[in-house]
């Protein structure tokens, strides 16, 4: 089965940039429908997140149904035909794409496979007339935050407390599952530039540390204000911190929750993240 929606004017260009991203990452990406290979996708997701008491992150039978329904299961393969990454998206009743999960094999996170998968999903969506994609992520994982907001060009202005309840997978175990809701405007000028490998670099202003509003659980500056923007810092590696100091990790969760909710309620939007984990929060009217 397949969705029958109108192609977006940006679709052809998106297909080209998606193919370029895949070539740069040295992978081949397809919309996977093969039953046996969908089983491999389940195994890959387990290799990334592990098994929880509920089973695989997305079990094979659900992957099979998602693919059969005409929604998206993107699979990235090495030149040798080895599955190295996957992403899954469905379509909402409002006519936008909703990404359920995306992951790559451990050890290849810096090779551009994840970026290529998201660009493939972007092209897939625009080819079906879908102009936005939404998903959620843990705001304390600064690496993912930078990828979503700076490298892809998405924005976030909605904070969900304990979205899934307490999770028991390898990455999230024993922490509350607060999530930022990401909205990716697929055809915006900013997203197009990002798709072509030209994201706008986000850097903390030189004088920002002179304008500290709050300190974090580690007693270092964690909330700044400068030139009408707010800057909020996430810990460098929350996953490692959960294992080494669960008490401090829990304090970061509470601290970050309050800061982000207050900022969003005041009309700010998370529009980018620096390499050192500082979120740039801009007034919504100035976000492109």
Instruction: Delimit the domains of the chain by residue range.
Output: 11-195, 210-286
Q: At residue 4, does pLDDT exceed 60?
A: no
Mean predicted confidence (pLDDT) in 96-124: 94
**Which fold does the domain 11-195 belong to in CATH?**
Aminopeptidase (3.40.630)
Distance CA 101, CA 212 (A): 36
Q: At residue 171, does pLDDT exceed 70?
A: no
**Inter-residue contact 231 to 204 (CB < 8 Å):** yes
Mean predicted confidence (pLDDT) in 10-39: 96
- Tokens 């509920």: give the residue: 54
Over pLDDT 70: what percentage of the chain?
A: 94
- Tokens 């540390």: give the residue: 209
Torsion of CA 223, 218, 103, 167, to 10 degrees: -110
CA neighbor of 111 nearest in space, from 21, 244, 184 = 21
* pLDDT classification of 288: cutoffs 50, 70, 90: very low
Backbone phi, then psi, for 231, in 5-degree steps?
A: -130, 120
* pLDDT classification of 53: cutoffs 50, 70, 90: confident
Residue 170: the pLDDT is 59
Q: At residue 200, does pLDDT exceed 90?
A: yes
What is the pTM assigned to this prediction? 0.92
Q: For residue range 254-265, what is the model confidence (pLDDT) as tens digits? A: 999 999 999 999
CA neighbor of 256 nearest in space, from 141, 143, 117, 108 = 141
Q: At residue 286, does pLDDT exceed 90?
A: no
Name which residue leads in pLDDT, 209 or 88: 88
Distance of CA 142 to the CA centre of its chain: 11
Residue 2: the pLDDT is 47
Name which residue leads in pLDDT, 243 or 281: 281
Residue 212: the pLDDT is 95
* pLDDT classification of 169: cutoffs 50, 70, 90: low
Contacts of 85 (CB under 8 A, 6+ apart): 27, 44, 75, 76, 102, 103, 104, 105, 108, 113, 114, 116, 117
Contacts of 263 (CB under 8 A, 6+ apart): 230, 232, 270, 281
Q: For residue range 133-147, what is the model confidence (pLDDT) as tens digits? A: 999 999 999 999 999
R_g (Cα) of the chain, nearest Å? 19
């Amino acid at each position: 089965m397949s969705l029958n929606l109108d192609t977006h004017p940006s679709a052809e260009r998106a297909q080209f940039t998606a193919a370029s991203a895949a070539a740069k990452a040295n992978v081949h990406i397809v919309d996977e429908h093969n039953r046996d290979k969908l089983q491999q996708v389940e195994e890959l997701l387990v290799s990334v997140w592990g098994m929880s008491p509920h089973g695989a992150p997305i079990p094979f039978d659900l992957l099979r149904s998602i693919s059969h329904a005409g929604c998206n299961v993107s699979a990235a393969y090495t030149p040798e035909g080895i599955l190295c990454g996957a992403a899954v998206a469905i379509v909402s009743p409002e006519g936008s794409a909703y990404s359920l999960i995306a992951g790559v094999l451990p050890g290849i996170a810096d090779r551009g496979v994840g970026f290529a998968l998201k660009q493939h999903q972007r092209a897939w969506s625009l080819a079906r007339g879908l102009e936005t994609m939404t998903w959620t992520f843990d705001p304390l994982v600064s690496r993912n935050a930078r990828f979503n907001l700076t490298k892809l060009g998405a924005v976030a202005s909605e904070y969900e407390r304990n979205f899934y309840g307490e999770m028991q997978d390898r990455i999230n175990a024993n922490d509350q599952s607060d999530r930022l809701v990401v909205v990716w405007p697929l055809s915006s000028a900013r997203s197009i530039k990002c798709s072509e490998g030209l994201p706008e670099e986000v850097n903390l202003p030189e004088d920002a540390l002179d304008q500290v509003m709050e300190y974090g659980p580690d007693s270092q500056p964690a909330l700044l204000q400068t030139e009408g923007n707010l800057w909020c810092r996430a810990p460098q590696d929350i996953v490692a911190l959960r294992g080494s100091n669960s008490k401090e990790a829990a304090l970061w969760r509470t601290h970050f929750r309050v800061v982000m909710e207050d900022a969003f309620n005041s009309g700010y939007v998370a529009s980018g993240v620096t390499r050192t984990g500082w979120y740039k929060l801009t007034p919504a009217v100035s976000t492109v």
